[in-house]
Amino acid sequence: MKEEIPPFFVDQAVRFSDVDMYRVVWHGRYVAWLEEARNGLASLAGFSLVGALDRGYRFPIVELSLGYKRPAQLGDTVRVFPRYQPEPIARISFAYEIRKIDGGQLLASAVTRQMILRGDELLVTMPPDVREILSKLERVQSAWPA
């Protein structure tokens, strides 16, 4: 019997500095949580932002879609589930769910898309070393429950 490996996630405690004057998490904080989760997931495949920069790559976010369902509030702990989404072009996409740990309620869902630059050049084909990392990430995710 194959052992079930849980999907990768990052937990974030909602702090006082995260909330706005309405006493809910400020909308921009979610973007920082996505970045933490995306970078943590990528590290499972051996990706390091510092290493990529040293090799001349940059991965700017060119699209962000974030749908808010329920507000996170001071004292909550949220769990961010990122998942790499393969693309047919030289672009890197991730889908996310942000859930409240207590009860599992869906708070937000999101998608980010990144282009690949080497220096100032926009790459239209996936570099072999980046493709290798993304393939490893797909293999890691394939062990997760659906």
**Across the chain, what does the average pLDDT equal?**
92
Confidence at 145, pLDDT banded by 50, 70, 90: confident
146 belongs to a structural domain? no
Q: How do residues 70-129 score in pLDDT, each as one tens digit?
A: 999 999 999 999 999 999 999 999 999 999 999 999 999 999 999 999 999 999 999 999
d(CA 67, CA 26): 14
Sign for the pseudo-dihedral over CA of 132, 8, 100, 38: negative
pLDDT at 4 over 60: no
CATH of the domain at 18: 3.10.129.10
Crossing angle of helices 128-142 and 29-44, rounded to 10°:
90
**Is 66 within 8 Å of 108 (Cβ atoms)?**
yes
pLDDT at 40 over 80: yes
62 belongs to a structural domain? yes
* Model confidence, pTM: 0.91
| Domain that residue 89 falls in | 10-139
In this predicted structure, which of 3-7, 18-22, 113-117 has the lowest mean pLDDT? 3-7
1 belongs to a structural domain? no
**Is 52 within 8 Å of 127 (Cβ atoms)?**
no
Q: What is the mean pLDDT of residues 27-38?
A: 96
**Cα–Cα distances in Å, from 9 out to 22, 57, 97, 106, 123?**
27, 25, 10, 14, 30
123 belongs to a structural domain? yes
Q: Are strands 106-115 and 10-13 parallel, antiparallel or unpaired?
A: unpaired
64 belongs to a structural domain? yes
Count up the domains in the chain and report the number.
1
